A and B are shown apart, each in its own frame.
Chain A
Amino acid sequence: MKKYLLAMGAVLALGTNAALAHVTLERQEAAAGSTYKAVLRVPHGCEGKATTSVRVQIPEGIISVKPMPKPGWTVQTKQGRYEKSYQLYGETLTTGVKEVDWSGGNLPDEFYDEFVFRASLAADLPAGQMLYFPVVQECGDAADRWIEIPAAGQDEDALENPAPGIKLLPKK
């Protein structure tokens, strides 16, 4: 009985924010054309194992990405060609960071940490829609993939491993 009460309490306490158990972004909305500081929150390892690398895929429309270095971790970026060209401060951008990797670290399951990068949102991103940043959390040979993107009309809560995302606000 005690067990059930505890479980119910846990559901009540945590249920309001199921995202606690997932890898999420701290700020979950941003305006098109604005600068965005992305803070990836990693609440736990992969089934008890310590996290050794975090990789995030940069979606189309997110440009000029700069990761924040992190002591104890090696930061790398993967460059790639954008699907189209973007204007930023009078410059035309056609290539840029498509993936950011933090690796070589050791974040035990019982600790929490954040992984930060800064980016610009293209001015023409459609307001009202979601933009997702798929994340692969690696723990030695195990991995949790926060890469699921809900299909049209699908409830995000139904996903087991949802990708962190932001809601696009109208350009200010």
Chain B
Amino acid sequence: MRWKIRLPASNCCRRNDLLMARPVRARRRFSKDRMNAATFPARLSGIRIRPVTGGLVAAFVLVLLVLLPGRALAHAALMATDPADGAVLTQSPARFSLTFSEPVSPLVLTLVRPNGTQLALTYFRLDGQTLAIDNPETLKSGTHVLSWRVISQDGHPVRGSALFSIGAPSAAPVAGETADRSLREAIWIGKLLLYAGLFLGVGGAFSLAWLAEHRRCGRRFVIGALLCGLAAAPFSLGLQGLDALGAPLARFAQPLIWKTALETSFGWTVLVALIALGLALLSLAGSSVSRKPLALAGLVGVGAALAASGHASAAEPQWLTRPLVFLHGTAIAFWTGALAPLGLALRHQPAEAKVFLRRFSRAILPVVAVLAISGIVLAIIQVREPAALINTAYGRLLLLKLALLLFLFTLASVNRWTLTAPAEAGDTEVQRRLVRSIGIETLIALAIFGVAAGWRFTPPPRALAIAAAQPASIHIHTLKAMADLSISPGHAGQVAASMVIMTGDFGPLEAKQVTLVLSKPDSGIEPIKRPATKPGDGTWRVDDLVIPIPGRWNARLDILVSDFEMVKIEAPIEIRSE
């Protein structure tokens, strides 16, 4: 079995069918032959790979296929809690439940007692999207806080809390929040180093294997970047575990931290990144036969690692975002990875670097096109509307990144269209300028990695919009009747209300008429009273409802059971601000 890989690069296959047929070993001779223009296209357009390395490529494709289908959606959002937020219970509940918009993995569940002491809730089970938690003790009267932290399918932790009271409400206890600044800084550094390892290291190894004529220059730099990435990958994984559990840095070594981290989608990223880094390192050490396929597999791994987790990969539609992240990451690695080896080669061995420079400058245009198009589409998906560029932290980071990119593209264009030709021709002054310029490009690229790593802490406008669209839901339960009321979106403004009503013992309740009354006595606004309609799907609906201000509203349902009997049930509902 022989494997054959064809690159779609536009600068390669023009001729040399003859050379394509040659065995790889025979071609080593040509690589020494510096200015043989025929050599390079031949080497890119048709290589034969041994089954072992081919297997590795196949493994990557497999990993990719496993990762692609439906692993991640959006951030999970809390749909309902039992006891409901703000509920006053007569006695201690036996269990609590949290229902999310998608299945989640629970991380930390804590009950804060009225006196501020915390009780870890360790017995829980997952039933679809509902998390049922056993209450280990009889709660005393007063207001309790059920604090939860779960991992949503995109790998990011989501947290929140629900207040409920036994007997009568008391002052809400204060739960200690663990916003660890040093942990955030460590996460950012870890991410930046991982990016450096993947893009500069793996990308560098690829450029050495595929573009460079003389592979010594930049080799040490690339090895350094790879080792840096190899160290940063597990480090980042541990930090992800700490962040997911809300644990301090001191707990870094605990097995639970690592187990948690591995269960998140970032675990996949680290796993694939480690493989990619390892393959790139092998390609540097490998023989002339295995060098190229190993480096290529490494490069593919970079894209796969990035596509496995993160905001952009988790966005819908998945069939589009994941391949785009893959392409984006691969293109970044190709471009930025080549910079350092190219610069170093130009500086130390200008004569031999000319081939490297020519190959790079030929390949770079389509690569940058892929990079730009995938980046633009992903940005549109994430930001949704131009105003979010300024309104949200995510958008501002994107603007900063765009500004850096503008600078980078300007430099790169000058290099490509002004300096490359004279440098290739052997103009030493221009070569020196090019080296300097490439050095600056590398630094800007690092700065861009730093900005991109900052996205770890900012939910994209897309996710914010999903969160804002989440309904406000309550469950009202009385002896005579019960109802699930959901106001969507759950914030002030134009909303629609949906109600499902049942008898107090979960039987069907055939109401003749249902009226929704929303009141907020402290606001001075008259109650909003709207008859509900029955669209026929078992729910009652009130469309075109406007809730003028956010806050705690009282929702009352007037359920006309028969001509002469009306059941009124009510409960508070929290309406968010827009």
- Closest chain A CB from B481 CB (angstroms): 14
| B560 CB contacts on chain A under 8 angstroms | 145
Task: Say what secondary structure dominates the interface of chain A.
Answer: strand
Cα(A145)–Cα(B437), bound, Å: 83
Closest B residue to A135 by beta carbon equals B564
Q: Does B565 contact A (CB under 8 A)?
A: yes
Bitwise, B507-551 to A at CB < 8 A (1) or not (0) is 000000000000000000000000000000000000000000000
A98 to chain B, nearest CB (A): 10
Does A144 make an interface contact (CB < 8 A)?
A: no
Q: Is A44 an interface residue (CB 8 A)?
A: no
Instruction: Using A136-B564, A145-B566, A148-B566 as known contacts, list a sample of 13 further A-B pairs with CB atoms less than 8 Å apart, ordered by residue number in A.
Output: A55-B564, A57-B563, A57-B564, A134-B564, A134-B565, A136-B563, A145-B560, A145-B563, A145-B564, A147-B563, A147-B564, A147-B565, A147-B566
Q: Which of B544-573 contact A (CB under 8 A)?
A: 560, 563-566
- The interface residues of chain A lying within 8 Å CB-to-CB of B564 are 55, 57, 134, 136, 145, 147
B120 nearest CB across to chain A (Å):
41
Interface centre among B563, B564, B565, B566, by most chain A C-beta atoms within 10 angstroms, is B564
Q: Which residue of chain B has its CB nearest to the CB of A133?
A: B564
Say how far A102's CB is from chain B's closest CB, in angstroms. Answer: 14
Assembly CA distance A22 to B565 (angstroms):
17
What 0/1 readout, one digit per residue, does chain A (125-144) give for beta carbons within 8 Å of chain B?
A: 00000000010100000000
Looking across the interface, which residue of chain A has its beta carbon closest to that of B527?
A160
A-B contact pairs, 8 of them (CB 8 A): A134-B564, A134-B565, A136-B564, A145-B560, A145-B563, A145-B566, A147-B565, A147-B566
Give A127-172 interface residues, CB cut-off 8 Å to B: 134, 136, 145, 147-148
- Complex CA gap A148/B564 in Å reads 9
> In the complex, which residues of chain B have a beta carbon less than 8 angstroms from the beta carbon of A136?
563-564
Closest to A57 in B: B564
Task: Please tell me the number of chain B residues within 8 Å of chain A, measured between CB atoms.
Answer: 5
By a beta-carbon cutoff of 8 Å, the part of chain B in contact with chain A is 560, 563-566
Tell me how far the C-beta of A145 lies from the nearest C-beta in chain B, rounded to whole angstroms. Answer: 7
Q: In the complex the two chains form, what is the Cα distance from A134 to B565 in whole Å?
A: 8
Specify the chain B residue showing the minimal Cβ separation from A163: B564
- Bound together, the chains give a CA A134 to CA B564 distance in angstroms of 6
B517 CB to nearest A CB, Å = 9
Pairs of residues from A and B, 8 with the lowest C-beta to C-beta distance, nearest first = A134-B564, A57-B564, A147-B564, A136-B563, A147-B566, A148-B566, A136-B564, A147-B565
| Binary flags per residue of A46-82, CB closer than 8 Å to B gives 1, else 0 | 0000000001010000000000000000000000000
- Measured in the bound complex, the distance between the Cα atoms of B564 and A145 in whole Å is 7
CB closest chain-B residue, reference A147: B564
- Residues on B with beta carbons closer than 8 Å to the beta carbon of A57: 563-564
B563:A55 contact, CB within 8 angstroms: yes
A5 to chain B, nearest CB (A): 22
Determine the residue in chain A with the shortest Cβ distance to B565: A147
- Minimum C-beta distance from A162 to chain B (A): 11
How distant is B86 from chain A, measured CB to nearest CB, in Å?
A: 22
Cα separation A140 to B422 with both chains bound (whole Å): 93
Q: Which of A55, A134, A145, A148 has the most CB of B within 10 A?
A: A145
| Assembled-state Cα–Cα distance A127/B468 (Å) | 56
Least distance between A139 CB and chain B CB atoms (Å): 15
User: Which residue of A has the minimal Cβ distance to B529?
Assistant: A160
Most buried by B among A136, A147, A148: A147
Smallest CB separation, B532 vs chain A (Å): 16
**Cβ–Cβ < 8 Å partners of B566 in chain A:** 145, 147-148
Residues 25-62 of A contacting B (Cβ, < 8 Å): 55, 57
Q: Considering the chains assembled together, what is the distance between the CA atoms of A96 and B133 in angstroms?
A: 54
Contacts of B565 in A (CB 8 A): 134, 147
Interface string of A96-119 (1 = CB under 8 A from B): 000000000000000000000000
B308 → chain A closest CB, angstroms? 58
Chain A CB count within 10 A is highest, among B560, B563, B565, for B563
Please, how many angstroms separate the alpha-carbon atoms of A57 and B564 in the complex? 7
Q: Could you say which residues of chain A place their CB within 8 Å of the CB of B563?
A: 55, 57, 136, 145, 147
> CA–CA, A148 to B565, complex, Å?
8
A147 to B561, alpha carbons, bound, how many Å?
11
A136 vs B564: C-alpha distance when bound (angstroms): 7
A134 to B560, CA, bound (A): 13
Residues of B contacting A147 with CB < 8 Å? 563-566
* Closest Cβ–Cβ distance, residue A83 to chain B (whole Å): 16
| Docked pose: A29 CA to B529 CA in angstroms | 34
B533 to chain A, nearest CB (A): 15
Complex CA–CA separation, A55 to B563 (angstroms): 9
**CA–CA, A54 to B459, complex, Å?**
60
The closest CB in chain A to the CB of B566 belongs to: A147
Task: Give the docked Cα–Cα distance between A71 and B560 (Å).
Answer: 31
A99 vs chain B, min Cβ distance (A): 8
Q: Which residues of B contact A134 (CB under 8 A)?
A: 564-565
Quote the shortest CB–CB distance from B479 to chain A (angstroms): 12
Return the chain B residue nearest A59 by Cβ. B564
CB distance from B512 to the nearest CB of A (A): 10
Query: Complex Cα distance A145/B563, Å?
Result: 8
Alpha-carbon distance A54/B563, docked complex (angstroms): 12
In the assembled complex, the CB of A168 is this many whole angstroms from the nearest CB of chain B, namely 20
CB-based nearest B residue for A145: B566
Cα(A87)–Cα(B102), bound, Å: 64
CB proximity of A60 to chain B, nearest CB, Å: 13
Smallest Cβ distance from B223 to chain A, in angstroms?
80
Report the separation of the CA atoms of residues A136 and B574 in the bound assembly, to the nearest whole angstrom. Answer: 35
User: A23 CB to closest chain B CB, in angstroms?
Assistant: 13
A103 to chain B, nearest CB (A): 13
Question: Nearest Cβ distance between residue A151 and chain B, in whole angstroms?
Answer: 9
Q: How distant is the Cα of A145 from the Cα of B560 in the complex, in angstroms?
A: 10
